[in-house]
Amino acid sequence: MTITAHTQARLLGLPGSLRLGSHSLAVLRGLQPELRPAVDLQIGDLRLPLYDEDQDGPSTPENVRVFRQAVAESDGVVITTPEYNHGIPGVLKNALDWASRPLGRSALTGKAVLVISVSPAFTGGVRAQAQANETLLAIQSRPVLGPQVVIGNVADKIKDGRLTDEPSLRFALSAIDRLIALCPAIRKAEYAHLSLS
């Protein structure tokens, strides 16, 4: 995570799709240059082994440790996800299950999390969004409340691997402002003077 002297909010973006041309990834890439200068959004990778409780302990896989550390070091998390068969993709659920442990010490507990769902269909992955928020509640994360960011017809809103559709970007950015307002460290710091809208 690149942190400059002026960085006040360190966000971790997690795309719920592994494919190279992923729309979920393109949404995060489209948001990156649009954020306030004080906000840094790094994009993580959910290519993790399948959750196995036998491997969760002294022998936790190294990339899982790195993933948990990235979540812990972030001020807030932005999940962008497609909908698979009316639910969240297995890779996202798997990552959330890894992040939910160690029990009682999850890096996601108390963490502000924004879920943005996307779909080439007009429905925008709204069922996956509901399911992701349900899982986040189980982990006692702090899902961002308010208008849900669902991006329908997403394929038409992406150019050169980035979300470029202005209304979608503005809508998502206002939700990111609400996410930042939920981050305890940021609230205590100087972010307040940036006048959240």
Ligand X SMILES: Cc1cc2nc3c(=O)[nH]c(=O)nc-3n(C[C@H](O)[C@H](O)[C@H](O)COP(=O)(O)O)c2cc1C
Backbone φ, ψ for residue 61 (5° rounding): -55, 145
Out of 11, 14, 23, 175, point to the residue binding ligand X (CB under 6 A).
Answer: 23
The single residue among 4, 85, 195, 197 that binds ligand X, judged by CB under 6 A, is 85
Q: How many chain residues touch ligand X (CB under 6 A)?
A: 15
3-state secondary structure of 146: coil
Judged by CB under 6 A, does residue 133 bind ligand X?
Answer: no
In the chain, what's the furthest Cα-to-Cα distance?
Answer: 47
**Residue facing ligand X at closest CB distance:** 82
Name which position in 8, 10, 24, 165 contacts ligand X (CB under 6 A). 24
Nearer to ligand X, 8 or 148 (CB): 148
Does 19 sit near ligand X (CB under 6 A)?
yes
- Interactions with ligand X, residue window 107-126 (CB under 6 A): 119-121, 123, 125
Phi, psi of 16 (to 5 degrees): -85, 20
CB of 113 to ligand X, least distance (A): 18
Nearer to ligand X, 35 or 126 (CB): 126
Q: Is 40 in the site for ligand X (CB under 6 A)?
A: no
CB 25 within 8 A of CB 82: no
Q: Which is nearer to ligand X, 56 or 84 (CB)?
A: 84
13 Cβ contact partners less than 8 Å away, ≥ 6 residues apart: 28, 31, 41, 42, 43, 44, 77, 78, 79, 80
Out of 10, 12, 17, 106, name the contact with ligand X by CB under 6 A: 17
Rounded to whole angstroms, how far apart are CA atoms 132 and 94? 12
**Closest CB 69 distance from ligand X, rounded Å:** 25
* φ, ψ for residue 78, nearest 5 deg: -115, 110
Among 83, 91, 108, 111, binds ligand X (CB under 6 A): 83
Question: Looking at beta carbons only, is 22 or 141 nearer to ligand X?
Answer: 22
Task: Report DSSP state, residue 87.
Answer: B
Specify the DSSP element, H or E, that contains 54: none
Neighbours of 18 (CB within 10 A): 13
Q: Would you tell me which residues interact with ligand X (CB under 6 A)?
A: 17, 19, 22-24, 82-86, 119-121, 123, 125
